[in-house]
């Protein structure tokens, strides 16, 4: 069994008090490490995720070069490495940042976050990342056993959506995207926007990230116009960095819907496996789907 405290001293020269950190009770793999005057985030990942860990470190390190965005600052070991392998685990140490949640109060706030994502996509494109999985509009979210918790009738309805509204990927602007760009992965630190969690990077249409973010910012109780307005603000900021075609812009809502159908599949799956708390969220997901379907139909 790994003595994490001793490994921290041996590999990093850091004598820290460690305690569980964040919402990770099941895995218990993320810790807050506190020293005399500094705090760190300590993570243990399975060694079979080493490539993902290395990719996250590479991306985070390159983001630090931007004047607009930032990311985790990894602490090097005594040997000058960004990670330390112990038995079947990979240990990483990051400086703990004073993160601030982003608030959206004016249309300028939405434009700025659009520009941030454009800058992020540009930086990813310049990193020359190879070997990433390629996005598929249907297969990305209809794989494995997750959809099987749905009724047969509902699966048919979802498949009809994909057949009818899958965009022509050949006409879309493609590159490297975050692939999980929700507001739990974007913060503010100092004068920069702070992005995290890069293990799901994928080659995909750029607008797939915008489709997720538009959903995050949308107040569905205000109806379709709130989605349209906020999406347009996002686009105005985004196109300060990356120009999109009209076809790109017209298909963002399709990607928002794709994520909503994915959410529905997962909520049904979790509910089927004993998490009844998520079942009450399914009607909200369906309501959002119907609202956005009115935009594209």
pLDDT single digits (tens) 65-87: 999 999 999 999 999 999 999 99
CATH of the domain at 193: 3.90.1200.10
Could you read off the pLDDT of 221-278 as tens digits, one per residue?
999 999 999 999 999 999 999 999 999 999 999 999 999 999 999 999 998 888 888 8
Q: Are residues 84 and 170 in the same domain?
A: no
Extract the tokens encoding 124.
């990813």
Q: Does 100 fall in a domain?
A: no
Question: What pLDDT, on a 0 to 100 scale, did the predictor assign at position 1?
Answer: 62
pLDDT band at 56 (very low <50, low <70, confident <90, very high): very high
- The pTM of the full predicted model, rounded to 2 decimals, is 0.92
Strand ranges inside 87-144, DSSP E? 89-95
φ and ψ of 240, to 5 deg: -70, -20
Question: What pLDDT, on a 0 to 100 scale, did the predictor assign at position 275?
Answer: 85
- Domain boundary among the residues 66, 95, 124 is at 95
CATH of the domain at 68: 3.30.200.20
Q: Are 74 and 82 in contact (CB under 8 A)?
A: yes
Domain residues for the domain of 40 are: 4-95
Whether 143 shows a pLDDT value over 90: the answer reads: no
Across the chain, what does the average pLDDT equal? 93
Q: Does 283 fall in a domain?
A: yes
Q: Are residues 65 and 196 in the same domain?
A: no
Q: Are residues 84 and 228 in the same domain?
A: no
Question: What pLDDT, on a 0 to 100 scale, did the predictor assign at position 297?
Answer: 82
């Amino acid at each position: 069994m790994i003595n994490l405290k001793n490994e921290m001293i041996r590999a990093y020269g850091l004598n820290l008090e460690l305690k569980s950190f964040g919402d990770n009770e099941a895995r218990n793999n993320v810790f807050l490490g506190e020293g005399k005057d500094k705090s760190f985030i300590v993570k243990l990942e399975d060694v079979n995720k080493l490539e993902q860990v290395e990719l996250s470190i590479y991306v985070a390190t390159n983001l630090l070069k931007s004047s607009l965005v930032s990311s985790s600052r990894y602490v090097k070991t005594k040997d000058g490495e960004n990670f330390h392998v112990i038995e079947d685990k990979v240990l990483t140490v990051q400086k703990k940042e004073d993160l601030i949640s982003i608030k959206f109060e004016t249309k300028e706030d939405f434009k700025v976050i659009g520009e941030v994502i454009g800058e992020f996509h540009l930086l990813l494109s310049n990193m020359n990342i190879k070997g990433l999985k390629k996005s598929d509009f249907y297969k990305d979210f209809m794989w494995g056993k997750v959809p099987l918790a749905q009724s047969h009738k509902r699966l048919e309805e979802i498949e009809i959506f994909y057949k009818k509204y899958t965009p022509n990927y050949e006409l879309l602007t493609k590159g490297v995207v975050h692939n999980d760009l929700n507001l739990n992965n974007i913060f503010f630190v100092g004068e920069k926007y702070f992005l995290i969690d890069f293990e799901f990077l994928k080659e995909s249409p750029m607008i797939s990230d915008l489709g997720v973010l538009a959903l995050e910012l949308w107040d569905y109780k205000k109806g379709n116009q709130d989605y349209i307005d906020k999406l347009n603000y996002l686009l105005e900021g985004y196109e300060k960095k990356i120009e999109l075609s009209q076809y790109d812009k017209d298909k963002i809502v399709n990607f928002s819907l794709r994520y909503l159908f994915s959410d529905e599949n997962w909520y049904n799956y979790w509910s089927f496996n004993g998490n009844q708390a998520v079942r009450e969220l399914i009607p909200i997901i369906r309501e959002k789907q119907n609202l956005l379907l009115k935009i594209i139909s």
